[in-house]
Amino acid sequence: MKKKLIFLVAVGLLAAIGGCAQSSKKTTEMKKTDYRKISAQEAKKMLDENPVAILLDVRTEAEYKEMHIPNAILLTDSEIKRKAANVLPDKDALILVYCRSGRRSAASARELINMGYTRVYDFGGIIDWPYDMP
């Protein structure tokens, strides 16, 4: 009888521990954000409605110096992993990412999401930006 009771208690504890592990796994999964692609028009609207939104240019420094969207922050795609924590300390900030044609912005947006950033939107390339630039 004692062995049976000990066995049942042990099974109950294992089930409880397994349930806690699953619960924390679900919490982690719920916090992870999916990749989101938006249009330049949607990005412009979000920027107009959210003055503290971060506009992130992931092209090279030379490309940025040649032309960039006003108020954009440069963080090249090759530096995302190394410098994002310093350049983008708020992981819940609204971040709108662009490059030249959309390839680097998509990869960079996904990288930021994998790093725990929660409000990242890729709007593709500057070549599709129909608004004024200096």
Mean pLDDT by 10 residues, the chain (134 residues): 46 44 43 88 97 97 96 97 97 98 98 97 97 83
25 and 41 assigned to the same domain = no
Q: Which pLDDT value is given to residue 8? A: 43
Domain residues for 49?
Answer: 34-128
44 and 65 assigned to the same domain = yes
- We report the CATH number of the domain holding residue 96 as 3.40.250.10
Q: Which pLDDT value is given to residue 124? A: 97
70 and 16 assigned to the same domain = no
Concatenating the DSSP letter of every residue in 4-58 gives HHHHHHHHHHHHHHHHHHHHHHHHHHHHSPPP-B--HHHHHHHHHH-TT-EEEE-
With respect to residue 133, please indicate whether it lies within any of the assigned structural domains: no
The predicted model scores a pTM of 0.76
